[in-house]
Structure 1
Amino acid sequence: MRRRPANSTTEPPPSSSESNVGQRQTKRSFSMMLSLIAVIFNCCWAVYHYQYDAMPIPLTAQQAGKRGFSEHVAMEHVKALTQFGPHPLASDALDHAIQYVLATSENIKKTAHWEVDVQVDLFHAQYGANRLVGGLFKGKTLVYSDLKHVVLRILPKYMSKQDEEDAILISSHIDTVFSTAGAGDCSSCVAVMLELARGISQWAHGFKHAVIFLFNTGEEEGLNGAHSFITQHPWRSSIRVAIDLEAMGVGGKSSIFQGGPDPWAIENFAKVAKYPSAQVAAQDLFNSGVIKSATDFQVYKEIAGLSGLDFAYGDVGAVYHTKNDKLELLKSGSLQHLGENMLAFLLHTAALPHLPQEKNVENAEGQDQAVFFDILGTYMVVYRQRFANMLHNSVIMQAILIWTTSLFIGGYPAVVSLGLSFLSILLMWIFALSFCVFVSLSLPLICSSPVPYIASPWLVIGLFVAPAVLGALIGQHLGFLILLKYLRRVSSTRKQKQSPGIEASIVELEAERWLFKAGSIQWLVILIAGNFYKLGSSYIALVWLVSPAFAYGFLEATLSPVRSPKPLKLVTLLLGLSVPVIFSAGIFIRLVGTLIGTIVRLDRNPGSTPDGLGNVMVSGLVAIIVCLTLVYLLSYVHLSGPHFISAFFYFCFFWGGNELLATSSNWLGVIQDSNHSINSLGV
C-alpha cells in the first residue's frame, strides 16, 4: 500500500459550483448594486409620476365643442367663485355664490338642445336634524335651518313618467369654511359640475334616465346640505345612483376613494373612464377612521341607502381648510381629468336601459363588494369580493403547502433556519422604526419648523427614508449574521465535507436564500390577515407574495444534496419586483403624501395632541413601507462585501444629514402660520 505524501491535499478539484461561488464578487460589485438601487428607486418615482402627476391637456371651448368638456370654461367658474372670498354658511358671500351658480344654470337651460328639458330649482330647506350612525359625526345630532341649494335636472323632453323615476345624482357643495375662498374645496368641483351640465344638456335627448346636479350648502357644517336634500326635496325618491365630488387638497387627479356598496357604478366607470384613477386601499383607509373626515357620500349611502362613487382631489393636502387653498395651486389638467371621466361615465350610464333598483343595500361587507384599482392611471381592474376570497384562499393554501413540504423535507435545520430568517425580518422592523422615531423626535430640536417637509414633501426621503433604510439594513444584517452562524454549525456536522473555503461560501449563499424567502413569509402573513378582515387592498400583499415567489421558482435552480446553491441572480430580483413596483409604488408614495397633508390638521387645538405626534406618524409609516418593500432587495446586500455595506451606511448618513441641515435653514422657517399651516406652497 502506498502512503499519501504528507503535503498532499484531500480537497476535490474545483467544481462548477465553486467557480460560480468565486465569481460572486464580480456579480455583486459595488457599482452594480448601487446602480440596481438607483434603478429601482427611479422606477418607483416614474410609476408615481405617471400614475398621479401626468394630466390630460386642458381644452378650450372651441376644442371641446358644444358636447365636450373644456377646462378653460370650468376655470372661469372657479375664478368667479373664489372672487367672492370665503363663503361659509349664512354669509353674504355665499348668497352671491349661489346666485352665480343659479344664473349659470339658467343660461345652461337657455342654450340646451331643443329636445332636452333642463329644470332649475332654487330649493330652500327650512329646517331639519341630521343624525349619522358612523364616521366623523357618529352619535351627534346636527340641527340645521335655512339652507339653499341649486338643483338642476336634465332629461329628454319626451321621456315617460316611469323613466323619470330613475335618476343619477351628481353632487358637491358651494359653501366653504370661514378661512378660505375654497379654490379646491370645493369651487373646483362646482365648476366641473357646471361645465359638465352644459355638455350633458347637448346629449340628454338620447338618455333613458334623468341626471340631477345638486349644488348644496351646509356641507362644511356637518353634511347638512346633502341630508336636507335627500330627505326633503321632491326629486329625492327618483335617485338610484349617487356620485359625490369632493376635494381634500387642491387639484391633481380626482380619484375614487369610496365606492359601493353595490359595485354597479364602479364597474361601469371602469368600462368607459378615459383616465381612470381609483384605489380600494384609500377606501380601506378612509373606512378605518384614520382620516378624520366625512363627505356627503356618507349621507347618500347611510340615510338614502344609495350606492355610487365618491371622488376627491388630493394634491397639496396641507392647504385643505386653510387660507392657502388658492387658485394658483390648482394644477393644469386637473379639471379636464375629472370632467372627461365624468362625461364618459354619464353618457354611458344614462343611456343604459336600467339602473340599480335596490335601495338599503345590506351587502356592504358581503361577497359582492368591489375590489378596484388602477394601473398607472391607464387601466382599471375591478372584481368582486367573492372572487378575491377564492383567489386569496387558493394562494394561501398553496403557499402553506409548499412551505410545509419544504420544511418536512429539510427537517429540523430547515425549521430553525426559517425561524432565524424570520428573526432577521423582526430585527429589520425594530431597527427601522427605532431610527425613524428617533429622527422624528429630534427634528423639532434642530429645525425652526417642527414639520419642515410640508412645504417640500420630498424632504421626507432624506429625513425618514434614509434612516429607515439604514435601520432596516442593520437589523437584517444582524439577523443574517445569526443565521450564518447557525448554518455554519450545521454545516460543520455534516459527514461529507468540502474544502473550508467552498463550504463557507455555500453557507453564505444558503443564508442569502433564506433571507430572500423570508420576505415571502412576511407578505404571506399580511395576506392572511387582510383576507380574514376582507380588506380590498389585500391584492397588494398578493402581488408582493406571488411575483417574487414566481421569479424565484422560475429562475433559481432547485436545491438538492448533489446541487449546491448558487448566488441569487439579479434578474430574479428585477423580475420579482417589476410587477409589485408597477402595482403599488405610486400608492405607497401617495399614501405618505396624504398623511403629510393630514398632520397639518392635528394641531388645530394646541395641547390636544402630543408634540411631535405628526412626525412620529409620518416616520412610522415610512419605516413600515421601507420594511415591506425592501425586504427582498436588502437580502442581496449582505454578500456584497464590507466595502459596499460601509458605503451604503455612509450614503444614508450623508443623505439624511444633508437633509437635516437643510431643514434648519431660515427659508423653511416661514412655512408655519398660526394654524401650523404654510404661507407659501406655490413653489
Structure 2
Amino acid sequence: MRRRPEISSEKPSAASQEPSSESEIDQKDAGAKVRVNSPRRSPFVFLTLFALTVYSSWSVYQHQFQSLPAPITAEQAGKRGFSEIEALKHVQALTDLGPHSVGSDALDLALEYVLEAAKNIKEKAHWEVDVDVEAFHVRSGANQMAGGLFMGKTLLYSDLNHVVLRILPKFESEAAQNAILVSSHIDTVFSTGGAGDCSSCIAVMLELARGISQWAGFKHAVIFLFNTGEEEGLNGAHSFVTQHPWNETVRMAIDLEAMGIGGKSGIFQAGPHPWAIENFASVAKYPSGQIIAQDFFSSGAIKSATDFQIYKEVAGLSGLDFAYTDNSAVYHTKNDKLELLKPGSLQHLGENMLSFLIHSAASPHLPKGNAMEQEENKGQNAAIFFDILGTYMVVFRQNFANMLYNSVIIQSLLIWITSLLMGGYPAAVSLALSCLSIILMWILALGFSVLIAFILPLVSSSPVPYVANPWLVVGLFAAPALLGALTGQHLGYLFLQTYLSTVYSKRKLLSPAVQADLIKLESERWIYKAGSVQWLILLAMGNYYKIRSSYLALVWLVPPTFAYGLLEATLSPARLPKPLKLATLLMGLAVPILISAGIFIQLAGTVIGTMVRFDRNPGSTPEWLGNVIIAAFIAAVICLTLVYLLSYVHLSGAKRSIVLATCLLFGLSFTAVFLGIVPPFTEDTARAVNTNKTD
C-alpha cells in the first residue's frame, strides 16, 4: 500500500539532538525534516535468525518423532499394563524363524507359535472374561479391489491359515454382537525375517491381548486377527471379512502396519467416520498421527497398500491404520531385523492402543460399519487431525474446517482489496512484482536442485547415493534450492525497487538519498507480504478441493499475517516505512514451526527411504527420476517455509555469507558422493530389488 511520507516542520528540541541508538537520516527540504530509519541490518542478525529457525525446527522434530517412552518390564506393567520387554520376546521368537512367506514351513512354525501364545493368554485370563481362540483355515477365495495398489486386479488365494483370538465379557449378552477388530499379518516377504513388518505388530497384539484379558467391565468384544497372505495382496484380511462367522459382528477395525522399523507408530489413515480418531485423541498417552500422511498415502505417491483398505472398502468399516515409518529404507529388505528396532517403539504403540481399546470397549456407542460409505461420500464429517509435539492431538471435522477456511480467505481478500484500493495503481503493481519474486523463487529453487538431480547418476555409483545417509540431501538438494530461492526472491526485490524508484522520483518532497532508503524499506515489506499471498492461494485451492491437510496453509498464513498487522501497522504510529521488526518474524513463525517443522522433516525422511524401492526392477525407470522427486520435494518445502525468513536478508550483508555457505556445503556433499567417501548403501541399508526365481 502506498504510504505518504510524514513531514514535521517542528524544530528539534535539545533532547532530540542527543545521539540516538537507531541510525537515522536527517534531510531538510524547504524547512522540513524527515527521519527515516536506516535500512541497513547487521548480517549477524539474519544469520542468527536462520540458525535459530533451523535449531528450532530440528528440536521440534526430535521431540515430536524421536522422543520415545522407556521400555518397561512385566513387573512394572503389572497384569493389566503393557510391557515392551515381554513383547520383544515374541519379536525375537518370530524373527528367529527367518523369512516366513506364504507357503513356507517357517510360516507354519510362526502360526504355531502365535497359536500357543494365544492359548496361554486364554488360560490366564480374568475369571469375568471369556477368551476364544481358534485356528481359522481358508480353502480359497477371490479378492478384487476397487482402488489403490491392486485396483482392477483379481487376486486368487487358497489354503490360508490365521489365528483368531476373541476377548469378551461374560455378563454382557450383546458383547459378542459388537466387536472391535485389531489386525496385523504374520507373513513376511521372502527376503526378511520381518522384525518391523510385521513381527513387531504381532508382538504388540499378543501383549495387548494379554493385558486386556485381565480387565473386566467391557461392553463389547475385542477380536485379534493374526492373518497371513497380506504380502500377497491383502488376502488374509479379505478372507476374514468374507468367510469368518465373526465378521458380521465387527463394528470398527484397527490395523497395525510397518513401513519401516521402529520409531513412533502414527496414524496415517483414519475414518471414514471420525469416532475412532476423536476417541483416540482423547485417551492416547502419546498421540501420534498426521492427516498429511493420509493425503500423501491416498494420493498414490507411495506404492503400497494395507489391510485397512479391505476393512474399509469390502467390509464397510471405519477405524484407524497405524504404521512405523522410521528407517523406511529397510522395509522389505534383509535388514528388517530386530537389532535396528528402536527401544521404546513397542511401548509407545502398546500404551496408546491399550488406552484406546479399554476406552472403546467400555463405550456405550460404536459406529455402525455399513453406514460408513455414506459418511465418506458426504465428506463433511471427515476428521482432520494432527498431533503437536507428540503430546496433544488436535481433531476437528471438515464442516468446521470449511467455515474456518472460508472465513480466513474472505477476510484476507477484503484486507488486500482495501489495501489496493487505498494504494491505487502503484500498490497493484507492487503486489504483482512481489508475487513475481515468489514465482522466480520457485523457478530457480526447483531449477537448481533438479539440475543436480540429473547430474548425480552420472557421477555416482548409485542413482540414489543418499539413502544410507539421508543428511546428504541437505548439501545435495537443499543447499542449491536455498541458493535458488534466495536468488529468485532477490531478483524480484530488485525489480520492485526499480519500479518504486520510478514512483518515488515523481515526489519532490524528499531527496534522492532518502528516497533510496525508503524504497528499500518498502520493497522489504512487499516481499514479506507476498509470502502470505502464496499461502492464501494454497489455502483457497486446498479448501476448494477439500484437501484435509490444508490446515498447514492456514497455519502458515494467519500467524505471520497477524504478526505483521499487529507489530508493523497497529503498534507502529510512524507513517514512513521502517525495517521489519525481528519480533514480527519471531511471532509469525513460532506457531508454524511448532506445528509443521517436525512433519516436514519426518515426511522428507520417509520419502528418501522409499527411494530405495522406487526402481525395484533396474532399468524400468530413468535413473534420475527418484532424484528429481526428492529434489522437487525439498525445493518446494524450502520455498514454502523460508519465504518470510528470506525477506529479511535483502537489507543485510548476509547474502554473501549465505551464498558461500550453500556453495561450500554443496561442494563438500557432491565431492563425498563423487569420490565415494560416503557409501550409498551400508550393511544395514541395502537396496530392494525384485528377482525372478528359476529352477
TM bin, normalised by shorter chain, reads over 0.9
Instruction: Give the direction of change, closer, same or farther, for the CA distance of 1:76–1:522 in structure 2 (3 Å limit).
Output: same
The answer to whether the 8 A contact 1:17-1:566 is kept is no
Instruction: Give the direction of change, closer, same or farther, for the CA distance of 1:182–1:560 in structure 2 (3 Å limit).
Output: closer
Say which SS state the counterpart of residue 219 (structure 1) adopts: coil
The answer to whether the 8 A contact 1:448-1:669 is kept is no
2:623 is aligned to 611
CA distance in 1 between partners of 2:458 and 2:31 (Å): 62
The answer to whether 1:655 aligns with 2:673 is no
The answer to whether the 8 A contact 1:317-1:598 is kept is yes
Alpha-carbon distance, 1:163 to partner? 2.6
2:288 is aligned to 277
Alpha-carbon distance, 1:445 to partner? 2.6
Say which SS state the counterpart of residue 231 (structure 2) adopts: helix
CA distance in 1 between partners of 2:253 and 2:112 (Å): 25
What amino acid does structure 2 have at the position aligned with 1:133? A
Task: Pick from 308, 329, 354 the counterpart of residue 340 of structure 2.
Answer: 329
The answer to whether 1:86 aligns with 2:99 is yes
Task: Pick from 455, 463, 469 the counterpart of residue 468 of structure 2.
Answer: 455
CA distance in 2 between partners of 1:543 and 1:457 (Å): 28
- Identity percentage over the alignment? 64
Instruction: Give the direction of change, closer, same or farther, for the CA distance of 1:123–1:505 in structure 2 (3 Å limit).
Output: same
1:38 is aligned to 51
CA distance in 2 between partners of 1:592 and 1:504 (Å): 42
Alpha-carbon distance, 1:676 to partner? 6.3
The answer to whether the 8 A contact 1:89-1:218 is kept is yes
What amino acid does structure 2 have at the position aligned with 1:571? A
TM value normalised by structure 2: 0.93
How do residues 114-125 of structure 1 correspond to structure 2 at under 5 angstroms?
Answer: 114-125=127-138
Alpha-carbon distance, 1:561 to partner? 12
The answer to whether 1:11 aligns with 2:22 is no
2:4 is aligned to none
Instruction: Give the direction of change, closer, same or farther, for the CA distance of 1:672–1:69 in structure 2 (3 Å limit).
Output: closer
Alpha-carbon distance, 1:360 to partner? 4.0
1:554 is aligned to 566
Task: Pick from 256, 261, 277 the counterpart of residue 272 of structure 2.
Answer: 261
What amino acid does structure 1 have at the position aligned with 2:665? W
The answer to whether the 8 A contact 1:122-1:151 is kept is yes
The answer to whether the 8 A contact 1:262-1:308 is kept is yes
CA distance in 2 between partners of 1:199 and 1:678 (Å): 37
The answer to whether 1:677 aligns with 2:687 is yes
What amino acid does structure 2 have at the position aligned with 1:671? F
CA distance in 1 between partners of 2:262 and 2:683 (Å): 22
CA distance in 1 between partners of 2:153 and 2:683 (Å): 31
Alpha-carbon distance, 1:114 to partner? 1.4
CA distance in 1 between partners of 2:191 and 2:298 (Å): 28
2:170 is aligned to 157
Task: Pick from 362, 369, 379 the counterpart of residue 382 of structure 2.
Answer: 369
CA distance in 1 between partners of 2:667 and 2:51 (Å): 19
User: Could you tell which deviates more after superposition, 299-308 or 346-355?
Assistant: 346-355
CA distance in 2 between partners of 1:612 and 1:12 (Å): 65
Task: Pick from 507, 516, 530 the counterpart of residue 519 of structure 2.
Answer: 507
CA distance in 2 between partners of 1:97 and 1:450 (Å): 37
The answer to whether the 8 A contact 1:449-1:668 is kept is no
The answer to whether the 8 A contact 2:467-2:609 is kept is yes
Instruction: Give the direction of change, closer, same or farther, for the CA distance of 1:206–1:15 in structure 2 (3 Å limit).
Output: farther
CA distance in 1 between partners of 2:209 and 2:225 (Å): 11
The answer to whether the 8 A contact 1:284-1:536 is kept is yes
The answer to whether the 8 A contact 1:497-1:503 is kept is no
CA distance in 2 between partners of 1:268 and 1:96 (Å): 37
1:58 is aligned to 71
CA distance in 1 between partners of 2:585 and 2:101 (Å): 54
How do residues 291-306 of structure 1 correspond to structure 2 at under 5 angstroms?
Answer: 291-306=302-317
2:16 is aligned to none
CA distance in 1 between partners of 2:574 and 2:642 (Å): 32
Query: 5+ residue gaps in structure 2?
Result: 1-26, 690-695
Say which SS state the counterpart of residue 324 (structure 1) adopts: coil
The answer to whether 1:586 aligns with 2:604 is no
Instruction: Give the direction of change, closer, same or farther, for the CA distance of 1:559–1:357 in structure 2 (3 Å limit).
Output: closer
The answer to whether 1:187 aligns with 2:208 is no
The answer to whether the 8 A contact 1:175-1:219 is kept is yes
Alpha-carbon distance, 1:199 to partner? 0.3
1:324-355 superposed Cα distances (whole Å, 9 cap, x missing partner): 11111100000000000000001111011121
1:583-641 superposed Cα distances (whole Å, 9 cap, x missing partner): 10011111111111111111111221111111110011000000000000011101113
What amino acid does structure 1 have at the position aligned with 2:343? S
Say which SS state the counterpart of residue 438 (structure 2) adopts: helix
What amino acid does structure 2 have at the position aligned with 1:224? N
Say which SS state the counterpart of residue 319 (structure 2) adopts: strand
CA distance in 1 between partners of 2:209 and 2:28 (Å): 88
1:307 is aligned to 318
Alpha-carbon distance, 1:453 to partner? 1.4
Instruction: Give the direction of change, closer, same or farther, for the CA distance of 1:180–1:436 in structure 2 (3 Å limit).
Output: same
What amino acid does structure 2 have at the position aligned with 1:367? Q
Say which SS state the counterpart of residue 537 (structure 1) adopts: helix
Task: Pick from 104, 110, 126 the counterpart of residue 113 of structure 1.
Answer: 126
Alpha-carbon distance, 1:58 to partner? 0.5
Alpha-carbon distance, 1:672 to partner? 7.0
The answer to whether 1:173 aligns with 2:164 is no
TM value normalised by structure 1: 0.94
Say which SS state the counterpart of residue 449 (structure 1) adopts: coil
Alpha-carbon distance, 1:649 to partner? 0.5
CA distance in 1 between partners of 2:679 and 2:383 (Å): 45
The answer to whether 1:444 aligns with 2:462 is no
1:465 is aligned to 478
2:403 is aligned to 390
The answer to whether the 8 A contact 1:249-1:313 is kept is yes
Alpha-carbon distance, 1:416 to partner? 0.6
2:262 is aligned to 251
User: Could you tell which deviates more after superposition, 362-371 or 213-222?
Assistant: 362-371
The answer to whether the 8 A contact 2:252-2:369 is kept is no
The answer to whether the 8 A contact 1:127-1:145 is kept is yes
CA distance in 1 between partners of 2:573 and 2:342 (Å): 61
Instruction: Give the direction of change, closer, same or farther, for the CA distance of 1:192–1:16 in structure 2 (3 Å limit).
Output: farther
Query: 5+ residue gaps in structure 1?
Result: 1-8
CA distance in 1 between partners of 2:684 and 2:625 (Å): 18
CA distance in 2 between partners of 1:227 and 1:425 (Å): 49
Say which SS state the counterpart of residue 638 (structure 1) adopts: coil
The answer to whether the 8 A contact 2:262-2:326 is kept is yes
Say which SS state the counterpart of residue 102 (structure 2) adopts: coil
Instruction: Give the direction of change, closer, same or farther, for the CA distance of 1:539–1:159 in structure 2 (3 Å limit).
Output: same
CA distance in 1 between partners of 2:181 and 2:136 (Å): 16
The answer to whether 1:492 aligns with 2:505 is yes
CA distance in 2 between partners of 1:510 and 1:669 (Å): 49
RMSD: 1.8
The answer to whether 1:632 aligns with 2:644 is yes
What amino acid does structure 1 have at the position aligned with 2:575? R
Say which SS state the counterpart of residue 175 (structure 1) adopts: coil
The answer to whether the 8 A contact 2:469-2:680 is kept is no
1:11-45 superposed Cα distances (whole Å, 9 cap, x missing partner): 36785742x22xx43xx212221111001001000
Instruction: Give the direction of change, closer, same or farther, for the CA distance of 1:54–1:14 in structure 2 (3 Å limit).
Output: farther
What amino acid does structure 1 have at the position aligned with 2:679? G
Say which SS state the counterpart of residue 445 (structure 2) adopts: helix
What amino acid does structure 1 have at the position aligned with 2:663? F
Say which SS state the counterpart of residue 103 (structure 2) adopts: coil
2:24 is aligned to none
Instruction: Give the direction of change, closer, same or farther, for the CA distance of 1:14–1:219 in structure 2 (3 Å limit).
Output: farther
What amino acid does structure 2 have at the position aligned with 1:460? V
CA distance in 2 between partners of 1:163 and 1:360 (Å): 20
How do residues 414-425 of structure 1 correspond to structure 2 at under 5 angstroms?
Answer: 414-425=427-438
1:597 is aligned to 609
